[in-house]
Amino acid sequence: MRKEKSLIEIRIAELNQGVHEYTFTCKASDFKNPEIEEPAFNGDIQVTVAAKKTDTEIVTAIETVTDAELSCDICLAPVHRRLSGQFTIFFVFGNQGNEAHETDGEYRTLPPSATAIDLTEDVRETLLLSLPVKVVCEAYPECNALRTDEETQTEDDQTQNSNWKASLQELKHKFH
Ligand SMILES: [Zn+2]
């Protein structure tokens, strides 16, 4: 039975060594998962994947960007947010039978016969993790009183973002 092509998939069968960039545009409904469907994710979702292939591994850095329609936790006013999420996974070639570790964090074993990497689940999780824990609007003082925590979180996001960019630059740098 022929497997249907995955939503976010990288062909690795004839991939040269070095860094490759892929971009995907998708919709929340493409993931067929109620957790990331409406109303929050109702716009286009931009996914960028940088993959670095070496003799021993393929490192993939995923970035997701989407405009989300959220609502204030306190007054329920609509809040528009640009969300971005990052996730890096190390796919290590090998078949040492350590499948037990396959879901351990960000290291996974890739069978030498693999022709593609399906990142759909990882992108889905990256999207979910990019959702802010707390959402407050800027319209009312009552809501603003809670903004301090949120600002801290935004700073964290920015740090994460620049970390991702830095690691992407690093990936590229190593090959020049
Ligand atoms: Zn509010």
Kindly report, residue by residue over 58-82, the tens digit of the pLDDT.
999 999 999 999 999 999 999 999 9
Could you tell me the distance, in angstroms and rounded to a whole number, from the CA of residue 65 to the centre of ligand 1? 24
Distance from Cα 26 to the centre of ligand 1, integer Å: 30
Reading the block at residue 118, the tokens are 């399906």
From ligand 1's centre to the CA of 170, what distance in Å? 41
pLDDT confidence of residue 42: 82
Alpha helices for the chain (secondary structure H): 120-129, 141-144, 147-173
For residue 1, the model assigns a pLDDT of 47
What is the distance in A from the centroid of ligand 1 to the CA of 139? 6
Which residues crowd ion ligand 1, with CB under 5 Å? 72, 74-75, 77, 137, 143
Residue 147 scores a pLDDT above 90: no
Kindly give the distance from the C-alpha atom of residue 138 to the centroid of ligand 1, in angstroms, as a whole number.
Answer: 7
How many whole angstroms from 37 Cα to the centroid of ligand 1?
23
Q: Does 102 or 40 have the greater pLDDT score?
A: 40
Contact at 8 Å (CB) between 46 and 85?
Answer: no
pLDDT at 119: 96
64 CA from centroid of ligand 1 (Å): 26
For residue 29, the tally of other CB atoms under 10 A from its CB is 12
Q: Is the pTM of this model over 0.85?
A: no
Distance 141 CA to ligand 1 centre (A): 8
The predicted pLDDT at position 38 comes to: 59
C-alpha to C-alpha distance for 152 and 156, rounded to whole angstroms: 6
Q: Distance, CA 84 to ligand 1 centroid (Å)? A: 22
Higher pLDDT, 155 or 106: 106
Å from CA of 130 to ligand 1 middle: 20
Percentage of residues in the chain having pLDDT higher than 70: 72
Residue 18: strand pairing partners = 53
Q: What would the 3-class secondary structure string for 45-93 be?
A: EEEEEEEEECCCEEEEEEEEEEEEEEECCCCCCEEEEEEEEEEEEEEEE
* Structure-model confidence comparison of residues 22 and 140, the more confident one: 22
Distance between Cα 153 and ligand 1 center (Å): 18
**137 CA distance to ligand 1 middle (Å):** 4
Q: pLDDT tens for residues 125-135? A: 999 999 988 89
